[in-house]
């Protein structure tokens, strides 16, 4: 049984490793010259940055976490999370509901008062069950936390109205805060939220791509890079995959590439399937890399809900994850900007984006002086986040049914078209390998 895996990102190489370990004949076909997908890293002028935004390693899934730590070996180092939310000029403890005591007094009252009022109303059955993401946020956290932080931040990330997003995906991803923690936080007693990521791991050398390469090491001879799939046809009981010049035959086909890239490679796709795939929403990511002389704040990452500060939604500090991703006496800042094709950000040049970012960071006090900047770079990723609109469940089922009929397995973030973190991608590979 020969298996062809489309895509050499995190999911694809994990699948290849697991199937190879079971004695299977596998071939991975990757369009780029390097593996890793959104988990690639690049090194310039002594600075290493992750091109798909900031990635750190944590998980509630003990098996996945153990797998990653085993493959990283001594190239993994743990750090304690020190994440913040920049809100009205204050660095609020993350997650927001655990830092209420740091808010301006009026905002603190608004958040705790609305949380308690909403909690009582929900328990009395006076609040209808939520029908969209915005309603779910208010139903869970109250109007104060929703309006001060969660709705503005999420709409900045998703570039889509929260009221037009489904809420089916949030349970488990956005934990419901214990009432006791909300009250403790409001009166200034230290609490910790999202404890599964309170301590995280990051590669000492090589950026997050080092993790992907460690996973891929046993199967590197079976990975073909520079193979951009242009057609997939069924032949007998198997498949023939082509990049326009070469062909690969396989008995089983697993796709980890975006559905929007897969379907155009297939023959006789019904119009209703094409329409459903075209309706699946996603957004893109622009990562801005800044290397500086001197130090950066002692933060892991900072969330930016306010548009007045800048067009970016998250700032991370890779040199606080590992001392070896920046030259001596230097530090690094990675800024993430989500966008949609055709919007203002998509039309900005790299030079304009870097200029906006440096100026904004300087005004916010994160960057002491633009004169400290010694290196900049920009990377854009077309496929970054899955956006769950209200028609998502209907459209994704149409596409999945079609792929099932064609015997094409879909595994991973943009093949399953689900908002999977790195651990979720590895878990999806483990589950699929376990079914075979």
H or E segment to which residue 114 belongs:
helix 105-123
Alpha helix positions (H), 293-391: 344-347, 350-363
In order of their start, the domains of the chain are 2-37+208-280+390-435 (3.50.50.60), 96-189 (no CATH)
| pLDDT reported for residue 173 | 76
d(Cα 294, Cα 372) in Å, to the nearest integer? 7
- Residue pLDDT tens, the chain, 436 long: 899 999 999 999 999 999 999 999 999 999 999 999 999 999 999 999 999 999 999 999 999 999 999 999 999 999 999 999 999 999 999 999 999 999 999 999 999 999 999 999 999 999 999 999 999 999 999 999 999 999 999 999 999 999 999 999 997 677 778 899 999 999 999 888 888 899 999 999 999 999 999 999 999 999 999 999 999 999 999 999 999 999 999 999 999 999 999 999 999 999 999 999 999 999 999 999 999 999 999 999 999 999 999 999 999 999 999 999 999 999 999 999 999 999 999 999 999 999 999 999 999 999 999 999 999 999 999 999 999 999 999 999 999 999 999 999 999 999 999 999 999 999 999 999 999 8
Predicted confidence at residue 178, as pLDDT, reads 87
pLDDT at 193: 87
**Whole-angstrom distance, CA of residue 337 vs CA of residue 49:** 15
What does the pLDDT read at residue 3? 98
3-class secondary-structure state, position 201: strand
CA distance linking residue 56 with residue 68, whole number of Å: 11
This prediction's pTM: 0.96
Indicate the length of the chain as a whole number. Answer: 436
- For residue 200, the number of C-alpha atoms closer than 13 Å in the C-beta half-sphere is 23
Residue 175, pLDDT score: 72
249-286 burial code (b ≥16 CB/10 A, e <16): ebebbbbbbbbbbbbebbeebeeebeebbeebbbbbbb
Q: Can you give the pLDDT at residue 11?
A: 98
Q: Is residue 400 packed enough to be buried (19+ CB in 10 Å), middle (13-18) or exposed (0-12)?
A: middle
Q: How far apart are CA 286 and CA 353, in angstroms?
A: 9
> Are the beta carbons of 58 and 65 closer than 8 angstroms?
yes
Q: What is the pLDDT of residue 54?
A: 96
Q: How many angstroms separate the Cα of 338 from the Cα of each of 21, 174, 369, 383, 384? A: 37, 20, 25, 10, 8
């Amino acid at each position: 049984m020969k298996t062809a895996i489309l895509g050499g990102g995190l999911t694809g190489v994990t699948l290849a490793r697991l199937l190879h370990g079971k004695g299977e004949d596998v071939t991975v076909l990757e369009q780029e010259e390097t593996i890793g997908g959104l988990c690639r890293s690049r090194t310039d002028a002594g600075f290493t940055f992750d091109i798909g935004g900031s990635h750190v390693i944590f998980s509630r899934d003990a098996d996945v976490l153990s797998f990653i730590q085993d493959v990283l070996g001594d190239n993994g180092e743990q750090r304690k999370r020190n994440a913040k939310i920049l809100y009205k000029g204050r660095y609020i403890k993350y997650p927001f509901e655990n830092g209420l005591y740091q808010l301006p007094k009026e905002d603190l009252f608004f958040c705790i008062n609305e949380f308690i009022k909403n909690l009582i109303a929900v328990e009395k059955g006076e609040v209808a069950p939520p029908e969209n993401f915005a309603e779910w946020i208010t139903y869970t956290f109250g109007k104060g936390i929703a309006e001060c932080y969660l709705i503005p931040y999420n709409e900045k990330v998703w570039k889509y109205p929260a009221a037009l997003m489904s809420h089916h995906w949030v349970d488990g991803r956005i934990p419901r805060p214990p009432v006791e923690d909300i009250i403790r936080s409001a009166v200034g007693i230290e609490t910790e939220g999202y404890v599964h990521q309170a301590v995280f791991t990051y590669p000492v050398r090589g950026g997050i791509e080092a993790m992907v390469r460690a996973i891929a090491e046993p199967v590197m001879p079976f990975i073909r890079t520079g193979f951009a799939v242009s057609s997939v046809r069924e032949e007998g009981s198997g498949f023939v995959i082509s990049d326009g010049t070469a062909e690969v035959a396989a008995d089983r086909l697993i796709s980890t590439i975006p559905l929007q890239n897969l379907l155009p490679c297939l023959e006789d796709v019904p119009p209703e399937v094409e329409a459903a795939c075209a309706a699946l929403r996603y957004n893109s990511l622009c990562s801005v890399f800044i290397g500086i002389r001197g130090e950066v704040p002692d933060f892991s990452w900072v969330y930016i809900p306010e548009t007045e500060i800048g067009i970016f939604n998250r700032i991370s500090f890779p040199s606080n994850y590992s001392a070896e991703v920046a030259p001596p006496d230097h530090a690094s800042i990675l800024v993430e900007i989500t966008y949609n094709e055709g919007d203002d950000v998509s039309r900005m040049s790299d030079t304009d984006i870097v200029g906006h970012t440096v100026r904004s960071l300087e005004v916010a006090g994160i960057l002491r002086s633009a004169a400290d900047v010694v290196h900049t770079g920009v990377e854009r990723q077309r496929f970054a986040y899955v956006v769950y609109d209200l028609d998502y469940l209907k459209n994704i089922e149409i596409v999945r049914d079609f792929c099932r009929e064609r015997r094409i397995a879909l595994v991973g973030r943009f093949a399953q078209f689900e908002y999977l973190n790195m651990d979720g991608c590895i878990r999806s590979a483990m589950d699929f390998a376990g079914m075979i």
